[in-house]
Amino acid sequence: MNRRHFVISSASLAAMAGCASPAGTPLAPGRLGAAARAGAPQAAGLRTRLEIEEFSANAKLVAAFRRGVAKMRAETFAPSVASWQYWHNSHWMKDGTPPPEMRNVWDQCRHGQSFFLAWHRGYLHFFEEQLRLAAGDPELSLPYWDYYKNPNLPAIFTDPTLPDGSANPLYWADRRNSLVTGLSYASFANSVVTFPYGPGTTFEDLVESNPHNRVHNQVGGSMGEVPTAPADPIFYLHHCNIDRYWSCWLAAGGGRHMPPRGDLWWKQGFAYNLARTWYFDVRAMNDSRNLGYTYGDLRFPVMPMGATLPARPRIAATSSTDTAGPFDLALEPITIAVPLSDALGRAARVRVVLEGVALTAAGRRGGFDVGVYADLPERPAPLAEESRFAIGEFGTFEITMPKMGAMPNATPAGASLRMRATRAATAELLISFVPFGAPSGVGRTTPLARIERLRVEIA
């Protein structure tokens, strides 16, 4: 039936090819950049990033974390690496483009393209160093939020004030949802053995789409858009968990491999300060131990027994051709039935194109995202069969990504999203839209997004 693959744009960047290379061992200090040798302890003194529940039980660590965040926010000179805004701008700026003198270190994040995981790993490392300095605690490490284990927003982030009545630096008012649902296990499957982002089923591609994008979309608010996400402190815990999955993937073995040692993929590197002394190449970042840290748990999430996919929602519309629309999406799931021409009906591989995808006023601040499925059965199928039916997902994070200037998928009417499905030959394609999340103050029938046109073409 269907093989999951979601492409944001037909112009998406292809990853560089890679085949067989085992996970690396920690590099000797001489293989790292100067800043790494000076700032990151090596294997003898590795720091451990803790899961947030364990971290939260240590009052000293929580106090240091809050102290560091508060001090970085208090530094208002954005070009200073000691400021919160420097790291926000390094990921992406909320408005405008970097001033000429900051162009090499601001607006640098990688999304929907190669080195998504590597760029963020170096970014987290150098942010963490500044957080440590701001907190005055050399033992502080960023925690990670394991939302498969606990899908609720961690408690230390949810109260506006502390017991003494002072402001909680970890609280952020611009959130729309505190519970994450619908997380995929596709990136952890034993069949996902290739790493770099690119066409097909690769780890970097799958883990970015879900859980990464889905968590951004469902927390919503600032987290729901690339240019504003780092304003919310939970952003850093989310990305630590995504970074952890890279380490989990390597630790899992089973034929999982990075590109060959001589591949040009390894030549890529990233600088995080203007002097370029804060620099890592991808070969160093392949193993977190080269950057001085590891994680307390390197196991993949385990799919719950009896977990199922959603059953096929009601058919809300049937088109008369291989196109449909316009139609609105709300929290109530729907199916669009699309009759296929003879050529499309015989095709083993088709592409579903959503054109003019735009958010309504109610959907603009996120708190939800939409799973897209082809030919879901009427009764819930096991979640382990997800790859047969799921062809993509989207929310505010994907729809607003053209603001980065990295994805040429926007038209005046909205974004254009392309999803491929492998399928059995039939005369009709049933496309289901299943929202996940519960944005505060939004009813189940309130339109959140509008799709001007759905069309099917031969892939």
Beta strands 449-458 and 327-329, pairing class: antiparallel
Dihedrals phi, psi of 3, to nearest 5 degrees: -115, 125
User: Is the pLDDT at 324 greater than 50, yes or no?
Assistant: yes
Dihedrals phi, psi of 350, to nearest 5 degrees: -125, 165
Confidence of residue 38 (pLDDT cuts 50, 70, 90): very low
Residue 311, number of CB atoms within 10 A of its CB: 14
Closest CA to 135 of 201, 197, 193, 64: 64
Closest CA to 141 of 46, 238, 70: 46
Q: What is the chain's Cα-based Rg?
A: 22
Structure tokens at 3: 């093989």
Spatial neighbors of 220 by CB under 8 A, at least 6 apart, are 175, 176, 177, 365, 366, 367, 368, 396, 437, 439
Alpha helices in 253-370 (DSSP H): 282-285, 342-346
Confidence of residue 369 (pLDDT cuts 50, 70, 90): very high
Check residues 96 and 280 and name the one with the higher pLDDT. 280
DSSP E strand boundaries for 192-333: 269-271, 279-281, 293-295, 315-318, 323-324, 327-329
CB 229 within 8 A of CB 216: yes
Q: How far apart are CA 81 and CA 64, in angstroms?
A: 19
What pLDDT, on the 0 to 100 scale, is given for residue 397?
92
CB 38 within 8 A of CB 292: no
Domain(s) of CATH 2.60.120: residues in the chain: 315-458
Structure tokens at 359: 């958010």
Half-sphere exposure of 288 (CA within 13 A, CB side): 27
The region, left, alpha or beta by phi > 0 then psi within -120 to 50, assigned to residue 421 is beta
Q: How far apart are CA 162 and CA 319, in angstroms?
A: 55
Spatial neighbors of 164 by CB under 8 A, at least 6 apart, are none
CB 111 within 8 A of CB 263: no
Structure-derived torsion over alpha carbons of residues 226, 217, 111, 235, reported in degrees to the nearest 10: 70
Q: Residue 185, exposed/middle/buried by CB under 10 A (0-12, 13-18, 19+)?
A: buried
- What digits encode the pLDDT tens for the residues 209-262? 999 999 999 999 999 999 999 999 999 999 999 999 999 999 999 999 999 988
Closest CA to 261 of 283, 279, 290: 283
According to DSSP, the residues that pair with 351 across neighbouring strands are 420, 457
User: Is the pLDDT at 39 greater than 80, yes or no?
Assistant: no
Question: Among the CATH numbers 1.10.1280.10, 3.40.50.1950, 1.10.10.10, 3.40.50.300, which is that of 23-295?
Answer: 1.10.1280.10
- What digits encode the pLDDT tens for the residues 53-100? 999 999 999 999 999 999 999 999 999 999 999 999 999 998 878 999
Task: Compute the average pLDDT of residues 450-456.
Answer: 93
Task: Compute the average pLDDT of residues 19-39.
Answer: 35
Give buried/exposed letters for 47-86 (b at 16+ CB in 10 A, else e). bebbbbeebbeeeebbebbbbbbbbbeebeebeebebbbb
- What digits encode the pLDDT tens for the residues 138-184? 999 999 999 999 999 999 999 999 999 999 999 999 999 999 999 99
DSSP E strand boundaries for 43-156: 47-49
CATH number for region 315-458: 2.60.120
Alpha helices in 214-277 (DSSP H): 214-219, 234-252
What pLDDT, on the 0 to 100 scale, is given for residue 45?
82
What pLDDT, on the 0 to 100 scale, is given for residue 413?
53
Domain(s) of CATH 1.10.1280.10: residues in the chain: 23-295
Task: Compute the average pLDDT of residues 1-16.
Answer: 30
Closest CA to 66 of 153, 151, 134: 134
What pLDDT, on the 0 to 100 scale, is given for residue 96?
79
What pLDDT, on the 0 to 100 scale, is given for residue 423?
64
What pLDDT, on the 0 to 100 scale, is given for residue 124?
98
Average pLDDT of the chain?
A: 87
User: Is the pLDDT at 407 greater than 60, yes or no?
Assistant: no
Q: How far apart are CA 6 and CA 372, in angstroms?
A: 10
Give the global pTM: 0.89
What pLDDT, on the 0 to 100 scale, is given for residue 376?
94
DSSP E strand boundaries for 325-448: 327-329, 334-339, 349-359, 368-374, 390-395, 410-411, 414-422, 428-437
What pLDDT, on the 0 to 100 scale, is given for residue 293?
97
Cis geometry, peptide bond prior to residue 412 (ω within 30 degrees of 0) = no
What pLDDT, on the 0 to 100 scale, is given for residue 400?
82
CB 396 within 8 A of CB 366: yes
